[in-house]
Amino acid sequence: MDPKFKGQRKAFISILQCTLSVLTSALVALILMALCQNVQTFCAAQVIYWTGMNGVDYIFNIFIADTALMQNRLIWMAFTGFPYVVNTFVSPLSES
What is the tens place of the pLDDT at every residue in 2-30?
565 666 778 788 888 988 999 999 999 99
pLDDT of residue 7: 67
What is the three-class DSSP state of 20?
helix
Q: What is the pTM of this model?
A: 0.73
Given this model, what pLDDT does residue 81 score? 84
**Within a 10 A sphere around the Cβ of 65, how many other Cβ atoms?**
12
pLDDT at 1 over 60: no
pLDDT digits (tens, 9 = 90+) for 20-76: 999 999 999 999 999 999 999 999 999 999 999 999 888 888 888 888 888 988 888
Position 68 scores a pLDDT of: 84
Which pLDDT belongs to residue 42? 95
Specify the 3-state DSSP secondary structure of 1.
Answer: coil
Asked if 52 and 29 touch (Cβ cutoff 8 Å), the reply is yes
**Which has the closest alpha carbon to 20: 32, 30, 9, 12?**
12
Task: Write the CA distances from 61 to 32, 42, 56, 76, 80, integer angstroms.
Answer: 27, 28, 9, 9, 8
Q: Where are the domains of the chain?
A: 21-91
Rg of the chain taking only CA atoms, in angstroms: 18
Through-space distance between the first and last CA atoms of the chain, rounded to whole angstroms: 63
